[in-house]
């Protein structure tokens, strides 16, 4: 059995289910010491137990709502207190939800979970990542970043997206998700530039389209029916299984050939172009400055 990740510490958010779970299982098989972070306690402990039963790696589960800034701060404190190294940080947790929900801090949930929680967590753990260099930050985005008009800097908190905030809207959820996944790429490009030459690489992944996980379970109506159909057909041909997508996560986390590769976007094992909008410098600098104001980290 290969144990190429023996001695390496990997933190993965959203590691209880879906592609995060498949990635954690494979990295465990390769000997990694895993910190699985999720707000799904039962699924998280099941994933932890499966990894520990299979070996040779080892896993712990930490409950954390990534959309809560205080819970993320407490998670970072706990990691710093319990680990002397962090080799790979995989920012994977994400949602799609047609109901407009807000975090305990008042941020719209797509933005809070996909972007702000990961912005805070990554910045808080940078000293550990730096001390463990060569180390890797992997941010899970999506080609959904291409399917929209970009961020609205007058409405970063998505106050205006829902025509009626009391009513669910698939279309508002798509727009919020598009913006959140674009935020992931702005964060990736800016962080990669800021960390150039430190030995900490930063890359992003598009896991593919309609990967058969539970991420679309909150969607309504025709979209939900259509998604189930695509899931079913894709699965028949093995095109959209979480296992297939997790291979790219594992590649980014382990491949020695990628040790110095930073600022890249990958899908199914290959580099891919992001949109021109995602490559624009001005919005990513504005988003970074706004995120510093909201979270209190990343200012230097």
Ligand X SMILES: NC(=O)c1ccc[n+]([C@@H]2O[C@H](COP(=O)([O-])OP(=O)(O)OC[C@H]3O[C@@H](n4cnc5c(N)ncnc54)[C@H](OP(=O)(O)O)[C@@H]3O)[C@@H](O)[C@H]2O)c1
Q: Which residues are catalytic?
A: 177
Residue that is written with structure tokens 């959203």 in the block: 14
Judged by beta carbon, residue 32 or residue 182, the one nearer ligand X is 182
Judged by beta carbon, residue 31 or residue 125, the one nearer ligand X is 125
Q: Which stretch binds ligand X (CB under 6 A): 82-90, 206-214, 264-272, 274-282?
A: 206-214
| CA gap 33, 51 in Å, rounded | 10
| CA gap 169, 99 in Å, rounded | 7
* Chain position whose Cβ is nearest to ligand X: 18
Q: Please report whether residue 14 would count as binding ligand X according to CB under 6 A.
A: yes
In what helix (H) or strand (E) does residue 276 lie, and over which residues does it extend? helix 276-279
**Binder among 2, 6, 127, 214 for ligand X (CB under 6 A):** 214
**Binder among 28, 57, 94, 234 for ligand X (CB under 6 A):** 94
The token pair at 154 is 């007058």
Q: Please report whether residue 204 would count as binding ligand X according to CB under 6 A.
A: no
Q: Please report whether residue 31 would count as binding ligand X according to CB under 6 A.
A: no
φ/ψ (deg, to 5) at 87: -90, -35
Contact pattern for ligand X over residues 124 through 143, marking x by CB under 6 A:
----------------x-x-
Q: Please report whether residue 38 would count as binding ligand X according to CB under 6 A.
A: yes
**Where would I find the beta strands (DSSP E) of the chain?**
9-13, 33-38, 58-63, 88-91, 135-140, 200-205, 265-267, 270-271
**Binder among 98, 207, 234, 298 for ligand X (CB under 6 A):** 207
In angstroms and rounded to an integer, the radius of gyration of the C-alpha atoms of the chain is 18
Q: Please report whether residue 210 would count as binding ligand X according to CB under 6 A.
A: yes
Q: Please report whether residue 190 would count as binding ligand X according to CB under 6 A.
A: no
Q: Which of 261, 111, 283, 72 is nearest to 190 (CA)?
A: 283
Number of residues binding to ligand X, judged by CB under 6 A = 26
Residue that is written with structure tokens 């905030």 in the block: 165
Q: Please report whether residue 40 would count as binding ligand X according to CB under 6 A.
A: yes
Give the number of other Cβ atoms within 10 Å of residue 266's Cβ: 20
At closest approach, how far in Å is the CB of 215 from ligand X?
4
Judged by beta carbon, residue 14 or residue 31, the one nearer ligand X is 14
Bridge partners (DSSP) of residue 9 are 33
**Binder among 69, 215, 250, 287 for ligand X (CB under 6 A):** 215
Residues 6+ apart with CB under 8 A from 277: 145, 146, 150, 182, 283
- Chain residues binding ligand X by CB under 6 A are 14, 16-20, 38-40, 64-67, 92-95, 113, 140, 142, 207, 210-211, 213-215
């Amino acid at each position: 059995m290969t144990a190429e990740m023996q001695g390496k510490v990997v933190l993965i958010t959203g590691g209880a289910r879906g592609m995060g779970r498949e990635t954690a299982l494979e990295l465990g098989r390769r000997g990694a010491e895993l910190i699985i972070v999720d707000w799904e306690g039962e699924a998280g402990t099941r994933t932890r137990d499966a990894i520990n039963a299979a070996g040779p790696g080892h896993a712990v589960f930490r409950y954390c709502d990534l959309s809560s800034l205080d819970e993320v701060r407490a998670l970072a404190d706990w990691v710093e207190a319990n680990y002397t190294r962090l080799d790979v940080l995989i920012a994977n947790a994400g949602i799609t939800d047609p109901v407009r929900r807000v975090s305990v801090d008042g941020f719209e949930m797509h933005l809070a979970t996909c972007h702000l929680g990961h912005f805070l967590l990554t910045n808080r753990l940078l000293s550990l990542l730096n001390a463990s260099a060569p180390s890797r930050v992997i941010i899970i985005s999506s080609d959904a970043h291409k399917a929209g008009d970009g961020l609205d800097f007058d409405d970063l908190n998505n106050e205006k997206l829902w025509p009626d905030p009391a009513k669910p809207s698939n279309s508002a959820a798509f727009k919020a998700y598009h913006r959140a996944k674009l935020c992931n790429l702005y964060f990736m490009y800016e962080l990669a530039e800021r960390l150039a030459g430190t030995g900490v690489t930063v890359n992003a992944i598009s896991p593919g389209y309609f990967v058969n996980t539970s991420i679309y379970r909150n969607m309504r109506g025709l979209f939900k029916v259509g998604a189930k159909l695509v899931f079913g057909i894709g699965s028949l041909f093995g095109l959209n299984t979480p296992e297939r997508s997790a291979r790219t996560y594992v590649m980014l986390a382990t491949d020695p050939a990628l040790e110095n590769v930073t600022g890249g976007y990958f899908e199914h094992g290959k580099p891919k172009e992001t949109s021109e909008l995602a490559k624009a410098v001005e919005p990513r600098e504005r988003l970074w400055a706004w995120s510093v104001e909201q979270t209190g980290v990343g200012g230097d």
